[in-house]
Structure 1
Amino acid sequence: MSGMFCFQCEQTAGGKGCTKAGVCGKQPDVAIKQDELTCALVGLARAAQGKSTGKAADELLMQGLFATLTNVNFDGSRIDELKKLVQAEKEKLGGAADLDPATLWKGDPDIVSLRSTLLLGVRGMAAYAWHACVLGKTSDEVTSWLYKGLRAIGEEHTVEEWLGLLLDLGQANLKCMALLDEANTAAYGHPVPVKVTTTVEKGPFIVISGHDLHDLKQLLEQTEGKGINIYTHGEMLPAHGYPELKKYPHLKGNFGTAWQNQQKELDGIPAPVVFTTNCLMPPRPSYIDRVFTTDAVGFPGVQHIPAVNGKKDFTPVINKALELGGWPEDKKFTGVNGGSELMTGFARNTVLGVADKIIEAVKAGAIKHFFLVGGCDGARAGRNYYTEFVKKAPPDTVILTLACGKYRFNDLNIGEIGGLPRIIDMGQCNDAYSAIQVAVALANAFNCGVNDLPLTLVLSWYEQKAVSILLTLLSLGLKNMYLGPTLPAFIYPNVLNVLVEKFNIKPISTPEEDLKAILG
């Protein structure tokens, strides 16, 4: 393959595709290597057809796909190593031809669009499957679908067959998110509401970013009694709600806002930062010496913490925290709107535990409408739409939220209804499963379909896990969703027309216009 092409994230160049270098910071050689790894994984899936694959191949499949997500692995040597492992595992299964990288993003535009959407959804689902796997939870059905999806990438299908595969993937991803929910709650308990400070106490500390709760647990165990405080960052914020994590007194608070602000917020930070998953941005010279990666994450020149028999030794991170020493006095930070306290922990167990109050409030007219305002954050202009939407939402409405898009408004205090906060943070992006379970329960309580509820989804997207979640929502028949800040570059006009016709997906406009259209 002679050049790079990547249009898998919301910020892709010109809204069409990155061809010279990734807007994310990914270099052309790494982009090409990731395409080659993807095509080798298709070969592995072909070799696995009709055979018993085993743990090594299954885990490699998940890790390989995870490494190709946006803002995860920028290290070409690590991608090369993964490809070698894939080829070796493929030969153990009898061998098969890899997909030709030159064909990955080429062909009839509509087919390219559908094929790409499937591939990106498979990548997102693989990330969730891997998080469950490290906690000992796997599903033959979920893993089999990852193989099936990859094989489909290299096959010919009609438009109708591609659409069927996309909806099948959505259903498989729902099962995958349920698996991860089971893994997290079995290991750490059901989340409970908690207030999280944004003040960093004086002294040594470590910031941990990403989604992997297992990494956080190991870090908490290894820092216990060492005088080092731990602060979450980005999608790790919801960890504060889990009983088995919040019981550690040195899990103190949350540092920073959403991922796209990290180069500014980490500038000169007197503490190490551990990236467990996306979203890593190329570290600046002022703090690259204190950045650590683990799992699928990688960046050239950054120290990596490997897993050995499932365990990780965070000693280098701990030593760096003690060496840097932290700030000499408490450091007060605020969210993007000036708030200094964040609430999280409203997963399905908590929300359904007060379902009677919610139902009563709806029947009494105290709650007129629910909005799920969630998804990914990002740097593209226009994302202040979500802040303004929440600010302008009438006081008799409730805002459900999840994923890092909430950093646009999660420090706002917009009051309560019947003792419940109007902003209800349900967790990470994968906790869309919780939101789905709440919606289904409410629909059952009101004896109606989910689309008949006073509920509107207003979603922001950035990377491939958002794609897998969108396919899950479509597979459940959810309609009338608002999507922004821009529509995916890989969904070409004819495909978009089908989605609009079948599901009435709408691009966001302005908060005022959209609220008027939704509420009348």
Structure 2
Amino acid sequence: MDEQMFCFQCEQAAHCTACTGKSGVCGKSADTAAAQDRLTGALISYASQLIGEGRAPAPEQALLLMEGLFTTITNVNFDPQTVDQLTESIHAACPGIGFDYDMANLWHEPDEDIRSLKSFVLFSLRGMAAYNYHARVLGRIDPELDRFFCEALQTVGSECSIDTLWALVQKTGKASYRCMELLDAANTGAFGQPEPVEVPLVIEKGPFIVISGHDLYDMKCLLEQTAGKGIHVYTHSEMLPAHGYPELKQKYPHLKGNFGTAWQNQQREFEDIPAPILFTTNCIMPLRESYADRVFTTSVVSYPGVPHIGPERDFSPVIAKALELGGYPEDTAIPGINGGRSVVTGFARSAVLSHANEIVAAVKSGQIRHFFLVGGCDGTRPSRRYYTEFAKLTPPDTVILTLACGKFRLNDLDLGTVAGLPRILDVGQCNDAYSAIQIALALADAFQCGVNDLPLSLVLCWFEQKAVCILIALLALGIQNIRLGPTLPAFLSPGVVRVLQEKYNLMAVTTPEDDLKAILGEG
């Protein structure tokens, strides 16, 4: 095939505009991009037919929607054949569709603000679907949310006004917040409330498996199947917060530590690794020959030529590969980006709010001057050093909340403590933005003020569609003064950006020094 792609859904978009031609910056081929467009068009038509029946979709129908949307997220699926198989599954489930929505209608929409707002909603739905999928595998389903997915997709595929789309952006933000709440309930219900824990960045000698991604159910299945086999399990990237959950860390002592840093460093860090790597969600990059024969995928992740573990979650091939490779002959340190030998995670809302009285007292007494939420997605641009430098510059009487893989820019820094708390508090995965919001709401209640009146500033980094759905949720909650980087999304038109700036004072990051001075009123 001689496909030509158009994709501007992630921060890597070429020239901060869009990836076109035969491949994207992420490594996705034009064939895969075209398959994902066909899948999205089928999903829009499928959702429109379901909602036209006047009821929420059945659980199996909603699951198909979530799998389809999840598959189109950046760095999830590089295999056009498996993407087309999902499209065929949609046609089989709903043979009366007749025709699929043509995504070219959206990408070539002449009104740039309409295209921008529809894209904002669609990309948010993709991120929300990932969270919804993770919650579903743990038994948490919300029929009203399932119905909203259908309504929103139908609107994206329809002729509508700017006002209608702005209203949909607000509704999508509220639905995104509910998705994160649903997943939080699923994770804490299954694995307990996260607790602070120090996680070593040293790989012990002997056989081991590295598990990357976000899905805690996959983690549990792997830990169950490796128990008693002499194999250690190490988290990678967004799986790091698994160490904070009591039903995982305390129940399975062979969950040992964390391997490497953020997802974008894997091609270097996985070089000749003597162990298999299991990818569970959107953290996979184009594979290098030096470790390609050690990679496995599961769930919606797929890569051409890589063994895939099906829905039964039988990880026997991964276990066999770990035993065959044998691991390192001696304990091997793989330090953090800043040279640290361990990191701390597990500071979700229950852990932080157990110190609420002390935190409030420390703020009132002047011990704590300000809180920063510095986190989000990491990525490859050199400008992302901004977040490390910003953290280093924060005064010693401030606290940094961090989450998602963006934390690897700063989570191994030794910034000391303030008022008895570590100055860096890792709240968890990207979906744990819900937990961070709950911390902010609780503090606002304690101080009897609004969240925007707290000594709290959000300095966020974005990369892909789960970050987009978090941003849209924060805006729907009325959160003001968010600093976003390293660039503003290419899919946001100048007109849409202007409205977001006027209504929410959304702004792009500048330099760590200037932004910090502005936040603390020192400029």
Which range, TM-score by smaller chain? over 0.9
Contact kept? 2:56, 2:147, Cα under 8 Å: no
- Superposed, 1:220-239 pairs within 5 Å as 220-239=223-242
Matches within 5 A, 1:205-244: 205-244=208-247
Check the 8 A contact 2:16/2:490 in 1, yes or no: yes
The CA deviation at 1:80 is 0.9
Structure 1 residue 304 and structure 2 residue 308: aligned?
yes
1:95 CA drift (Å): 3.0
What whole-Å deviation, never above 9, does each CA across 1:358-386 have from its counterpart, x for those lacking one? 10100010001000001000001200000
TM-score, scaled relative to structure 2: 0.97
Match of 1:246 among 222, 246, 249: 249
Provide, for residues 301-321 of structure 1, a one-character-per-residue CA deviation record: whole Å limited to 9, x for no partner. 10000013xxx1000000000
Deviation at 1:324, TM superposition (A): 0.3
1:158 corresponds to which of 155, 158, 161: 161
Number of the residue aligned with 1:320? 321
Q: Which amino acid aligns with 1:255?
A: F
**Structure 2 unaligned blocks of 5 or more:** none
Which whole-Å CA distance do the structure 2 matches of 1:206 and 1:519 have between them? 44
Question: What secondary structure is seen at the aligned counterpart in 1 of 2:478?
Answer: coil
Q: Deviations over 1:149-169 (max 9, x none)?
A: 111111122222211111110
Contact 1:47 1:96 in 2 (8 A): no
Q: Secondary structure at the match of 2:152?
A: helix
Q: Secondary structure at the match of 2:234?
A: strand
Identity %: 60
Separation of aligned partners in 2, 1:517 and 1:419: 27
Q: Which amino acid aligns with 2:33?
A: A
* SS, match of residue 400 in structure 1: strand
TM-score when scaled to structure 1? 0.98
Q: Which amino acid aligns with 2:210?
A: V
1:53 CA drift (Å): 2.7
- More moved, 46-55 vs 132-141: 46-55
Amino acid at match of 2:272: G
1:255 maps to which residue?
Answer: 259
Tell me, which stretches of 5 or more residues in structure 1 are unaligned?
none
Q: 1:204 offset after TM fit, Å? A: 0.2
Q: How many residues are treated as equivalent by the alignment?
A: 515
Letter in 1 for 2:14: A
Alpha carbons 2:368, 2:419 under 8 Å: kept: no
Is 1:85 the equivalent of 2:89?
Answer: yes
Partner of 1:19: helix, strand, or coil? strand
Query: 2:70 — aligned with what?
Result: 66
Measure, in 2, the Cα distance between the counterparts of 1:73 and 1:349: 35
Q: Secondary structure at the match of 2:57?
A: coil
Q: CA deviation at 1:440?
A: 0.5
> Which residue of structure 2 aligns with residue 34 of structure 1?
36
SS at match of 1:64: helix
Farther-moved stretch of structure 1 (126-135 vs 153-162): 153-162
User: 1:447-493: CA deviations, max 9, x gaps?
Assistant: 11100000000000000000000000000000011000011000011
Alpha-carbon offset, residue 52 of structure 1? 5.0
Corresponding residue SS for 1:104:
helix
SS at match of 2:516: helix
Letter in 2 for 1:282: P
What residue number does 2:108 align with? Answer: 106
The correspondence for 2:284, drawn from 274, 280, 283, is 280
Quote the offset at 1:86 in angstroms. 0.8
Q: Distance in 1 between matches of 2:99 and 2:377?
A: 36
- Match of residue 197, structure 1, among 194, 200, 211: 200
Shift, 1:223, TM fit: 0.3
Question: Following the alignment from structure 1 to structure 2, what is the Cα–Cα distance between the partners of residues 496 and 24?
Answer: 25
Instruction: Report the Cα distance in structure 2 between the residues aligned to 1:217 and 1:150, rounded to whole angstroms.
Output: 33
Higher mean C-alpha deviation, range 144-153 or range 180-189: 144-153
CA distance in 1, matches of 2:100, 2:246: 45
Q: What letter matches 1:466 in structure 2?
A: A
SS of the counterpart of 1:279?
Answer: coil
